Structure 1
């Protein structure tokens, strides 16, 4: 049986979890399923017994989606570290045939800290694993919509194999809420809506569930997980009191497991002495009760709306609009246009107004939904085809899908990443042997290292490859950015990576425009031909531009082009408040200024004539010698000239070094902070 790893992160409500579990319930008969649950556990929620559930340390969000929060006062940083490690460990243990990621990168940007390293690792080490995005019908509009869409497309095109949209394209298409559809280079497949299956009516209600009288109209009121929408339940209770005599009924309320205790207590007080009202937090058989209800009063989330369509229950819906969220409003309006629901606004929750709306909705005729609700079966069929090695080769996937359901890309565009060209560092064993002996001889001590990559100015495949290696190996890289030639695309790429994994990326200043101003001699942007004033003007302009572009993401670290500068340069850096200078070790350290000198010690390339990577034997020998010296070691990289062999060597080198816990990699700022007193290595 093929193995499937499903990632789901619910942060506010529980709709994402419910939709994911509806899919899992359909997949368990065909796949061995493991489920990465990133949200808060729901008391009483039942997972299928055959599913391995990995509960990540839970994170949640507030109603305005301003940020993610740890639970129980735990450290957010510690939880992030633990989650990312557990996800990588789980993936390597299971080595699934399919990784299904719910929503990301179309949402859940704040969880890039754990997803991007996993995606990079899969791309480098597990190219046979198919990575799919599980996506609902409507995306939330954003203030920075075009940036968000560009980022989502970039991630999908590099790391994913396909996007499964759980919607009926005749009702809602992705391009109605996502304008960059044409930029997606991977198959986009509509599965139909994912809907829970109704239970046979012959099954009785469990003893611990509330009884539902059938002699009077049954009104079911619910607000999903319960973190938002309590005003809807309060309105339902108030109107129930008002209608108790004129319209005898039963009101069954499910508050959701996350409703704050204070709000639940207030509702209990409101319901006191009202025999027609039953108040509960949560049920595993919500659909069972909705099928018996004469009217549902709820919000307009994906799962609740699918429950309404499945049971053909009359409904009044109050769309959630917190954080400028328009997803539920869009869905509700389309359903209302089809006569399937009535829409409530907050002003309609006044008891008299709501009573009128309830009476009208109960008297309204029923309209049957003509939507495709077979999303579970279609998803199972799609995954079976993707993983069926008997009928599929690497360059032919999804060929049996109806053409009308492929909205972007084609059957031949599923990713088959390049292998790392089979390159193996011939001195890997030599380096390991030395590190093993070092560990026995000294206990390892502490080896402090950093990577510096120069000449960052545009979005390039080689830069993306370097970032993938950094992500997959968990090794920080200091990116030296040329302010005067930085493109918008280049800025977005590195800023996104910095936001996803701030501990792995540092954004520094690399000169101004990387221009040579010397008439003779070696190239230099800040050489003897430039006065203090000229250097101040260029460096200050560059610093201001990077601060405006990256804001708090920028670090006051300066590296001179060609690793050359003058005492005037040092004075400028001192006067402008730079904290760190990084050149090339080989001369006296720069002292007596406010900044610290953290220069690189080992260049992987030789620059006489055309740039050429040094022989691996030479690099490893130099590295061992520098480790023996005991000072911090800085490796200088050049993504613009690195080829597959160079990237493979770097990857193998980092994998080797990362296997030893006494080897510590740093950004410049973390090195200066954690290792304040170690001298820099001096070489001739």
Structure 2
């Protein structure tokens, strides 16, 4: 018997970078095989959203958090923040197409607490319009550690609102309780689904003498790109493909190009086929951001990562993956041409680990939601 298509409401807000939106879209791609998905998103947007069957999306007026003052600000508007919150509420009201079979919220209540009013308002309307439909949360495996009272509030919100917490991660690499001390209190709702990464390729190209150096979607990481460009002359047999942030200005790119002192370096501002480039690369050098690491692992590419000091989550993930030999960390001291040259040669000559990592998170979330909506129980 052919089951009817479902309708799912998905809420994802990025306050920095694009990682949360990118992994949400990988999940939505899987869900779209059996459900029409309405996505409400905000923060930094993608230049082009995917076209999928039954997929609609609403980009809310952007509100970000100023890291210096910890206050909200609107990068694209002069209106007072209160006005923007009201505009967002109206936009959501006009966009939603009731009723839904399920709701998915990315990260909340483990993060996005500053958007709590908007999110809980949405949950209240869902209950009013759709009754007790399941609300799912999906969250990365490492949290920025929070005080106990904050963790207690998160537990309370999970118990009040969330049917299942899908953890994007592999418990053999890192466990949720390592950064969330009250995990035992929500253990009955917690499911590890594997990392959310693009599916591995159908056929593998041959590795070439190419090193892909990437900054990721944010503003940080120029130090790493500069170090790689200056090291390239010591490795004339390798072609260095240096990828700046897609938001880098023309002057920033020109600044990097001015540093190039050997013919084996190419500086580009964006790579459409990042994963394909990694598949044929001898090495990846990056900041070890969430999405880049997933690309590196799913393509089984030897990797060096220079963790951004402001983000303990990335540092811990790199440390855990380094413990298994999937990636090797760089420190500030390694960013001289002499040291980086040695690190590059050592990493390329390492034997790649045999262990497989669970990276099928998007398909696994989709499978479990489908089973639950059809009234079944999931086999673990």
Aligned match for 1:318, one of 302, 306, 311: 306
Report which stretch shifted further, 6-15 or 273-282: 273-282
Select 1:304's aligned residue among 272, 292, 307. Answer: 292
Q: Hey, what does 2:224 align to over in structure 1?
A: 232
Which residue matches 1:77? 82
* CA distance in structure 2 between the aligned counterparts of 1:194 and 1:330, rounded to whole angstroms: 18
Task: State the match for 1:183 in structure 2.
Answer: 185
Q: How does 1:95-114 map to 2 (within 5 A)?
A: 95-114=99-118
Corresponding residue for residue 21 of structure 1: 25
The residue number in structure 2 matching 1:372 is 358
Q: Distance in 1 between matches of 2:297 and 2:372?
A: 30
C-alpha displacement of 1:226 = 2.6
Q: Aligned pair in 2 of structure 1 residues 191, 216: CA closer, same or farther (>3 Å)? A: closer
- Residues 52-93 of structure 1, C-alpha deviations (whole Å, 9 max, x = no match): 1211112334567934431234333322221233224333x2
- Segments of structure 2 that go 5 or more residues without pairing to the other structure are none
Aligned pairs (5 A) from 1:513-524:
none
CA contact (8 A) 1:67 1:110 kept: no
Structure 1 residues 121 and 234, CA gap change in structure 2 (3 angstroms): same
What secondary structure sits across from 1:253 in the alignment? strand
Q: Which residue of 2 aligns with 1:161?
A: 163
Distance 1:141 1:319 in 2: 17
On the 8 A contact 1:198/1:287 being kept in 2, the answer is no
**What's the CA shift for 1:138?**
0.7
Cα distance between partner residues in 1 of 2:347 and 2:67: 29
Shift, 1:343, TM fit: 0.4
The equivalences for 1:83-482 within 5 A come to: 83-91=88-96, 93-142=97-146, 145-184=147-186, 187-200=189-202, 217-240=209-232, 242-243=233-234, 246-271=235-260, 274-322=262-310, 325-388=311-374, 391-392=375-376, 399-402=377-380
Give the C-alpha shift of residue 41 in structure 1: 2.0
Residues 258 and 10 of structure 1: CA distance in aligned 2, closer, same or farther (over 3 Å): farther
Distance of 2:197 and 2:45 partners within structure 1: 22
Give the Cα–Cα distance (whole angstroms) in 2 for the partners of residues 61 and 233 of structure 1: 27
Instruction: State the SS of the aligned residue for 2:325.
Output: coil
So what's the TM-score if we normalise by structure 1?
A: 0.52
Which runs of structure 2 are paired with 1:546-561 in the superposition (5 Å)? none
- Is residue 63–residue 75 contact of structure 2 (8 Å, CA) maintained in 1? yes
The answer as to 2:51 corresponding to 1:48 is yes
SS state at 2:326 partner: coil
Q: Which runs of 5+ in 1 are unaligned?
A: 204-213, 393-398, 403-684
* C-alpha distance 79-201 of structure 1, shift in aligned 2 (>3 A): farther
| CA RMSD in angstroms, aligned pairs only | 2.4
CA shift in 2, pair 1:59/1:135, >3 Å: same
Query: Following TM superposition, by how much is the alpha carbon of 1:301 offset from its aligned partner in structure 2, in angstroms?
Result: 2.3
Indicate the SS of the match to 1:184. helix
Q: Which has the larger radius of gyration?
A: 1
1:393-414 residue CA offsets vs partner (Å, 9 max, x unmatched): xxxxxx3332xxxxxxxxxxxx
Q: For residues 64 and 313 of structure 1, what CA distance do their matches in structure 2 show?
A: 36
Q: Deviations over 1:216-253 (max 9, x none)?
A: 6100011221322222112211212x32xx43211112
Cα separation, 1, equivalents of 2:300 and 2:370:
31
User: Aligned partners of 1:270, 1:42: CA distance in 2, in Å?
Assistant: 30
Deviation, 1:107, is 0.8
Alpha-carbon separation, structure 2, partners of 1:231 and 1:283: 20
Verify the 8 A CA contact 1:137 1:173 in the aligned structure 2: yes
The CA deviation at 1:259 is: 3.3
Quick one: distance in 1 between partners of 2:120 and 2:143? 21
How many corresponding residue pairs?
A: 374
Q: Note if contact 2:62-2:76 (Cα within 8 Å) is conserved in structure 1.
A: no
CA change 1:98–1:167 in 2 (3 A) is same
Task: Kindly provide the CA deviation profile for residues 431-473 of structure 1, in whole angstroms up to 9, marking residues without a partner as x.
Answer: xxxxxxxxxxxxxxxxxxxxxxxxxxxxxxxxxxxxxxxxxxx
CA contact (8 A) 2:246 2:269 kept: yes
Cα 1:185–1:136 change in 2 (3 A) is closer
Contact conserved, 2:208 with 2:281, CA < 8 A, in 1?
Answer: no
- TM-superposed CA distance for 1:177, in Å, is 0.8
Q: Deviations over 1:293-331 (max 9, x none)?
A: 100001222222221211110000011231xx3111111
Structure 1 residue 342: Cα displacement = 0.8
Shift of 1:263: 2.9
Report the Cα distance in structure 1 between the residues aligned to 2:339 and 2:67, rounded to whole angstroms.
26
Deviates more, 1:379-388 or 1:301-310: 301-310
